[in-house]
Structure 1
Amino acid sequence: MPDNNNDLTLSAPLSGPVLTLGNVPDDVFASGAMGDGIAIDPLNDCLHAPCAGVVIHVARTGHALTIRADNGAEVLLHVGIDTVELQGEGFALLVQQGARVSNGQPLVRFDLDRIARQCKSLVSLIILTNGEQFELRPVAVNAVKVGEALLRIVARQAGVVQPVMADTAEAHASASVRITHRGGLHARPAALIRKTAQGFSSLSQLHFAGKSASCASLIGLMGLGIGEQDEVQVTCRGQDCDAALQALVAALSLTTAEAVQAPVIAAARPVNREAGVLQGVCAAPGLVCGPLFRLNSIELPEDPRNHARHEQLQHLDSALEQVRGEIRNTLEHARQRQAVEEEEIFAAHLALLEDPTLLEAATAAIEHGSAATHAWRDAIQAQCAVLLGLGKPLFAERANDLRDLQQRVLRALLGEAWQFELPAGAIVVAHELTPSDLLQLSAQNAAGICMAEGGATSHVAILARGKDLPCVVALGSEVLAITQGQRVVLDAANGRLELNPDDARHAQVHQIRDAQKQRRQLQQAQAHAAASTLDGVGIEVAANVASSSEAQIAYDNGADGVGLLRTEFLFVDRRTAPDEQEQRQAYQAVMDAMGDKSVIIRTIDVGGDKQLDYLPLPAEANPVLGLRGIRMAQVRPELLDQQLRALLQVSPLQRCRILLPMVSEVDELLHIRQRLDELCAELQLTQRPELGVMIEVPAAALMAEQLAEHADFLSIGTNDLSQYTLAMDRDHAGLAARVDALHPALLRLIAQTCSGAAKHGRWVGVCGALASDPLATPVLVGLGVRELSVSPPQIAAIKDRVRHLDAAQCRQLSQALLNLSSAGAVRQACQHHWPLS
């Protein structure tokens, strides 16, 4: 229904209750990443056109389509959540792509019952995908029938920021703020802004130098070219605009720095003054020698531009979904390994892959006849050109993340597997590698990496350091002319690629590496032996695992036991909860993998940022402060009862220890202990497994003495304890580098926990990331920790670290650390007292 001034009123395409996007049970839609809109919980089985227009896109599975209205507004209609998994079954398309439709015309018939049974939700979306040209104004209704007025689409006035009007029907708020993020608004701070905006229902935008971008679009935000100390305007429109504005101003004015640990961070190419040596910049230290292997990027032939639109759109949809799945798998593995930086990088990639600006550009090219391959490449390159044209190194480096997505999606479209036959010990050279390239090369045992371009602050550099993979960047185009297979020496710590090393240099490199390898082998040879300090204090070094296969790896690596089994692996990524039998078998498999060693099994820790599809929880303003961990037992006691029954049936029971997460008061522990005793009686058990408490909130640390009176042991989760003590979200892009568990305040809480436990003869372990940090080992030993639960690959090194310590000296020096001013000061003192060789 067109209105004056090119505005448009959309009629309801379905009948049913109306929901705001914030109440949609899907993160992508609820965040506004796909665009602004509204939702309906349908009561009928036919989707109707909300306006007159042309069908410009139909999903290959028939569950979604997009209409371009006569005024240019593009409206996505999406039936149900996760309905793509039905692969078109239960959907009957009544129109084709390119068809002209009238307002109210039937578009799709669908099987309501089937969607309700097999999919996440029936809730259906009406999304405006080109919100940069229009804005939505919902009509105030709680429920609608097909054909009734639902939304008004109002054309924006080009290049003008709407002023705040005191008498407007919709609340507005705006402010100016100076950007203090180091390097400006590049990918990581842009992701922070996007994440912040997602916490509010208001539509938020940034305005700079005559341009505007939605806070929902990473590419749009980066494309503004906002630099450090630039002043921008923030506008928010919606019911919670004041709160959204306050949060966005705080996020924009937060001082952050790239987490760069390389000796040199500038990417400017040094002048080469030595014959036979290319000089670059160290991105990850190390010394290796080996044959050089050149990696080339994908090149596409000329595009005839006469392709069938529907077919190419299907190809692109399939490729995008394949790559999204790959990235989600990478994210899950990163979370399991607690590789925080890797997780952040690929979470940003996933957000970029769902960015409406990028997807719209590719779709528009396909609509004009381009092949999906060329449309995707051109969409990426256009955005890269914007970033590169800004003339700022950090923005240029972030364009590499876009090129990563270009290569990944092109491989999926072309059906090419990422597979190369690397020579043994190869040093890989490329113009510029991407994060996914690096993960693949690491998996194929590349010895080192060198790039013609790139920077030491890039995501590739961060990943290379995490993988302990020597890497040099900014070597210049000369590196691409080196003969394939030529033997070279990569001295990454000094940024050097030696092209003609003589036999003596080869021998020296091998000698240095052999010494390092010998030390690691010696550590591994002693990994199965118990670890004691020089003065005879025994420290148990256990492992953090999330499955029986990981438990087997831990056992093979010399773990003294399992210090933390995360049972969430049984409950996530499924539509129903595991039953008691399935749980018992899974826990028994872990017990069996560990031989005669003890296994500490943490009860399910969901809620907060860990949600289960089949366990709907109320929306919470601060999920990490809400219903999570043991608090779930208060609202779903049957879930914990079932898990406890399964745990009580493992054999032998005396090797099983149960650990309770997120305990904050003694009564919670007493309640679970009583319930455990009742279940033991029901199962006619004469013994009860040890029951421990996780110390991960400050209240628990301060009450450690009282908790230890009723618990058999205490285990400190330094990850959560850090964020709750420092009031910093450990997943916050701008604060992650500051959430350091060696902060003196954390050490004081650890000291108090150990002191309180000792009064009742209880032992204390640490299962957080701090236990895996060798710099922290002497501090934890000195404060009284007697068990360290680490990632399996680090068991041998941590045991070796313990064997070189004097516990009495650790006690004396650790007490002094409690009075230092910062985590940085503590780390400096640790390096002085107990240097890492």
Structure 2
Amino acid sequence: MPNNNKELTLSAPLSGPVLTLANVPDAVFASGAMGDGIAIDPLNDTLYAPCDGEVIHVARTGHAVTLRADNGAELLLHLGLDTVELQGDGFSMLVKEGARVSNGQPLLRYDVDKVALRCKSLVSLLVITNGEHFQARPITLKGVKVGEPLLHILAKAPGETQDDDQATGSEVFGQIRIAHRGGLHARPAALIRQTAQGFKSRSRLHFQGKSASCDSVMGMMGLAITEQAQVHVSCRGSDAEAALQALLATLSTALAEEAHAEAPAIKPQRGIAEAGVLQGVCAAPGLVTGPLVRLDGIQLPQDAGGHDAEEQRQRLDSALSQVSGEIHLTLENAKARRHRDEEAIFSAHLALLEDPVLLDAAHLFIKQGSAATHAWNRSIEAQCQVLQQLGSTLLAERANDLRDLRQRVLRVLLGEAWQFDVAAGAIVAAQELTPSDLLQLSAQGVAGVCMAEGGATSHVAILARGKGLPCLVALGDALLAQAPGKMVVLDADGGRLELTPTAERLAQVHQEQVRQTSRRAEQQTLAHTPARTLDDVAVEVAANVASCGEAAQALANGADGVGLLRTEFLFVDRHTAPDEEEQRQAYQAVLHAMGDKPVIIRTIDVGGDKQLDYLPLPTEANPVLGLRGIRLAQVRPQLLDQQLRALLQTRPLSRCRILLPMVTEVDELLHIRQRLDAIGAELGLSERPQLGVMIEVPAAALLAEQLAEHADFLSIGTNDLSQYTLAMDRDHAGLAARVDALHPALLRLIAQTCAGAAKHGRWVGVCGALASDPLATPVLIGLGVRELSVSPPQIGAIKDRVRHLDAAQCARLSAELLNLGSAAGVRQACHQHWPLG
């Protein structure tokens, strides 16, 4: 019998740099869906047992093996990423299922060069697949050699008994053909487990006379289910039918990276010698060249101790107050520019700066005689160590936020300038940058950044993508050994930092940059002229904005109007609702900012997960399916009446268009039109603004013809329409990449919307993210969309795209796309029909 109470220390099964799962370039492993664990970028050619145990599963393709340790922990050892597709070529399994192995015993060997050239990455995983019973705590996050201590495994306290609901209720059955490339290996099994855990029912897979619980990744892998195999699924419990449908959908839908995969490029990965090149992970795309500049964190001298406690406490409190003020300014700037990512990140920083755990620890160190600098440093580092040992992706990222606060406060305490002394055009190298560092460097005009550590899902990566700053992470310590000042090429798309580029290579990169700059300049020059296709079909390119400042930017960038003004900016981050006059002034300011262009203003879309302090609503188990948009107006009609009254007082009304969110039936539209007419009559108005409906739920798309009879226009919100149609939360870590608005089902709904609107002579626009995707432009035009509302910087590029298209050809080819079976198929066809230049 396994001893589930016994702690276990796992030794390193490979030699090489250690990565947290957050830094693994694979969405399933990085999200934790597979389980908790650790990763190594291997430098050797043999995988060894990390402990004593029994081999309970050997992958038929020889790339993975699973052990059951003596304490009951099931340990998946997975060599490389996407290596299942090699079908065993390059691997030699040294053990068999059922064998007893000892710590340090060789399990499999592999041909380093052969495997590395053909797989996505050599990064290898050690994952606890029955993590509901165990937790992992890393011993080190630095490089290791085979046999060195790597991970502590601890048994969790016994949980509650299994829900009796699983043993009762009806049992339902279904069958499906497996869509995952390589069959049911580790990553798809993890997603199936994640799906099953969202329901109360007990679910099982059945294949060739054997079955396995969907709660067990190992059990499902042990069924050896191959690609395109027919599998039976059973679910028992009160929500069995819902669980069955969700599991069938997961089993029949390839992973996002599989669905979008093209033939893999043959390129070396980290750990494979390529002269003069460091391999890393792309955090933000781009190709740039420039001199390499090294940035180091603040290093404190030895603290002699014996400081005056009250004086040091005052110094620390003063520094904390100054940094708090700086962060408040950053927050206000982010809010003004509607940069939600920055706002969320620095709101978290402000909360951390005020955290009593940090402050109490620092004050205690000061009381014990430490200087304010050292007390703050010790407090931060202690918390970072705690967070990193928990093995959580989100908490590991929060450790970097703590280091950001460490740097900011120490700079104030030491009197150092906040600005880095870095020339514009430089490529910055650092151990790991913080969010504040990234913002400063971006403002100073650096060409790109690269880090020895860090992950592609970190806050720094998010900010780099938002700033359009090429960024590579996880390059390893070799980055920090490079001489500063040398000219390098940062090819973030290819995951490469080229340390010794030839003159020809530098010229090639420069030529590409000149070409892109010239094209952007040309696009901007023509951005203020109307966009017409080659066969003279007019397409309006408008802008999505959230303030009069953004509206002015949109007009300067050539917008034909505002396709979506989000009015939530008036209602959030305050304790009382804006009154009628404040709203009128805000809407009027946007109309003024847009000159003579039309402005579409969406009525308030809060509720559900977007709460207002002054409008308490009940907590909802499923916010995106709750009181949102027009539904909120139904329970708080005075809120919408006040907004309609403010909108009706803007001038000229002919340029003001009102858009209603989350409409699902015609009666909702008719009710709002009646309210608009009644309020207009109260105000003595003889005209009314145009009234449109957002098509963002499938019901509205299916009723487009009926809605168009009473609406003046329709505007498709592809973001919500995608998640509601595909039944996938676009914020779900494991599913977000699969919420693709080019899915044929979405295109069919768009086509039906355009056809329904055309019967009543109404125009259709798209204001969701799909409108900003140049690959989708010909499809949308072909389906009948005649207005695209995009982010202001993309206006010139989308207009340029329109001018190179033939609308008649787009219509013919788009009709064919409706018959394809996946978003990946649509994207591939789009690349063939309308290549991106």
Deviations 1:647-693 (A, max 9, x none): 11211111111111111111111111111112222222221111111
Q: CA deviation at 1:744?
A: 1.7
Distance 1:173 1:370, change over 3 A: farther
Q: Is the 8 A contact 1:768 1:789 kept in 2?
A: yes
Q: CA deviation at 1:783?
A: 0.9
Deviations 1:21-47 (A, max 9, x none): xxxxxxxxxxxxxxxxxxxxxxxxxxx
Distance 1:355 1:811, change over 3 A: farther
Report the AA paired with residue 738 of structure 1: R
Q: Is the 8 A contact 1:270 1:280 kept in 2?
A: no
Q: CA deviation at 1:765?
A: 0.5
**Partner Cα separation in structure 2 for residue 444 and residue 268 of structure 1:** 32
The 5-angstrom pairing of residues 355-754 of structure 1 reads 374=374, 377-378=377-378, 380-382=380-382, 385=385, 399=396, 401-412=398-409, 414-415=411-412, 418-454=418-454, 460-461=460-461, 463-499=463-499, 501=501, 503-754=503-754
Q: Is the 8 A contact 1:529 1:558 kept in 2?
A: yes
Q: Is the 8 A contact 2:489 2:499 kept in 1?
A: yes
Q: Is the 8 A contact 2:629 2:661 kept in 1?
A: yes
Q: Is the 8 A contact 1:537 1:807 kept in 2?
A: yes
Q: CA deviation at 1:266?
A: 11
Distance 1:776 1:370, change over 3 A: farther
Q: CA deviation at 1:625?
A: 2.1
Q: CA deviation at 1:700?
A: 1.0
Return 503-512 or 747-756, whichever deviates more.
503-512
> CA RMSD, aligned part only?
4.8
Secondary structure at the aligned position of 2:788 is classed as strand
Partner of 1:302: 302
Gaps of 5+ in 1: 1-157, 201-226, 232-241
Give the TM-score, by structure 1 length: 0.64
Q: Is the 8 A contact 1:312 1:366 kept in 2?
A: no
**Partner Cα separation in structure 2 for residue 553 and residue 320 of structure 1:** 31
Partner of 2:157: 161
Q: Is the 8 A contact 1:315 1:372 kept in 2?
A: no
Secondary structure at the aligned position of 1:422 is classed as coil
Return 342-351 or 580-589, whichever deviates more.
342-351
Q: CA deviation at 1:549?
A: 0.4
**Partner Cα separation in structure 2 for residue 753 and residue 183 of structure 1:** 35
Deviations 1:187-233 (A, max 9, x none): x99xx99xx99x99xxxxxxxxxxxxxxxxxxxxxxxxxx99699xx
Q: CA deviation at 1:732?
A: 2.7
Q: Is the 8 A contact 1:272 1:279 kept in 2?
A: no
Q: Is the 8 A contact 2:714 2:763 kept in 1?
A: yes
Distance 1:374 1:456, change over 3 A: same
Q: Is the 8 A contact 1:267 1:454 kept in 2?
A: no
**Partner Cα separation in structure 2 for residue 258 and residue 377 of structure 1:** 42
Secondary structure at the aligned position of 2:649 is classed as coil
Partner of 1:218: none
Q: Is the 8 A contact 1:182 1:228 kept in 2?
A: no
Q: Is the 8 A contact 2:288 2:490 kept in 1?
A: yes
Return 405-414 or 682-691, whichever deviates more.
405-414
Distance 1:633 1:491, change over 3 A: closer
Deviations 1:97-153 (A, max 9, x none): xxxxxxxxxxxxxxxxxxxxxxxxxxxxxxxxxxxxxxxxxxxxxxxxxxxxxxxxx
Q: CA deviation at 1:563?
A: 0.4
Secondary structure at the aligned position of 1:445 is classed as coil
Partner of 2:784: 784
**Partner Cα separation in structure 2 for residue 462 and residue 694 of structure 1:** 29
Partner of 1:766: 766
Partner of 1:38: none
Distance 1:614 1:462, change over 3 A: closer
Distance 1:758 1:523, change over 3 A: same
**Partner Cα separation in structure 2 for residue 312 and residue 183 of structure 1:** 54
Q: CA deviation at 1:474?
A: 4.5
**Partner Cα separation in structure 1 for residue 306 and residue 454 of structure 2:** 33
Partner of 2:73: none
Distance 1:582 1:349, change over 3 A: closer
Deviations 1:140-176 (A, max 9, x none): xxxxxxxxxxxxxxxxxx987256489xxxx99999x
The 5-angstrom pairing of residues 232-247 of structure 1 reads none
Instruction: Determine whether 1:755 maps to 2:752.
Output: no
Q: Is the 8 A contact 2:608 2:627 kept in 1?
A: yes
Q: CA deviation at 1:455?
A: 5.2
Partner of 2:270: 269
The 5-angstrom pairing of residues 197-346 of structure 1 reads 269-274=270-275, 278=278, 280=280, 282-303=282-303, 304=305, 307=309, 336=338
Partner of 1:825: 825
**Partner Cα separation in structure 1 for residue 676 and residue 397 of structure 2:** 54
Distance 1:688 1:455, change over 3 A: closer
Report the AA paired with residue 603 of structure 1: T
**Partner Cα separation in structure 2 for residue 388 and residue 687 of structure 1:** 62
**Partner Cα separation in structure 1 for residue 283 and residue 571 of structure 2:** 39
Instruction: Determine whether 1:803 maps to 2:803.
Output: yes
**Partner Cα separation in structure 2 for residue 453 and residue 488 of structure 1:** 19
**Partner Cα separation in structure 2 for residue 695 and residue 454 of structure 1:** 40
Q: Is the 8 A contact 1:714 1:762 kept in 2?
A: yes
**Partner Cα separation in structure 2 for residue 807 and residue 279 of structure 1:** 43
Deviations 1:592-611 (A, max 9, x none): 11111111111111111222
Q: Is the 8 A contact 2:535 2:807 kept in 1?
A: yes
**Partner Cα separation in structure 1 for residue 343 and residue 771 of structure 2:** 20
**Partner Cα separation in structure 2 for residue 779 and residue 595 of structure 1:** 31
Q: Is the 8 A contact 2:677 2:688 kept in 1?
A: yes
Q: Is the 8 A contact 2:313 2:372 kept in 1?
A: no
**Partner Cα separation in structure 2 for residue 555 and residue 295 of structure 1:** 39
Distance 1:273 1:347, change over 3 A: same
Distance 1:754 1:183, change over 3 A: closer
Q: CA deviation at 1:529?
A: 0.7
Distance 1:230 1:438, change over 3 A: farther
Q: How many residues align?
A: 621
Report the AA paired with residue 269 of structure 1: R
Report the AA paired with residue 741 of structure 1: A
Q: Is the 8 A contact 2:388 2:399 kept in 1?
A: no
Distance 1:693 1:164, change over 3 A: closer
**Partner Cα separation in structure 2 for residue 749 and residue 349 of structure 1:** 42
Distance 1:346 1:746, change over 3 A: farther
Report the AA paired with residue 705 of structure 1: E
**Partner Cα separation in structure 2 for residue 797 and residue 384 of structure 1:** 43
Q: CA deviation at 1:731?
A: 2.5
Gaps of 5+ in 2: 1-153, 168-183, 201-215, 221-237
**Partner Cα separation in structure 2 for residue 163 and residue 732 of structure 1:** 26
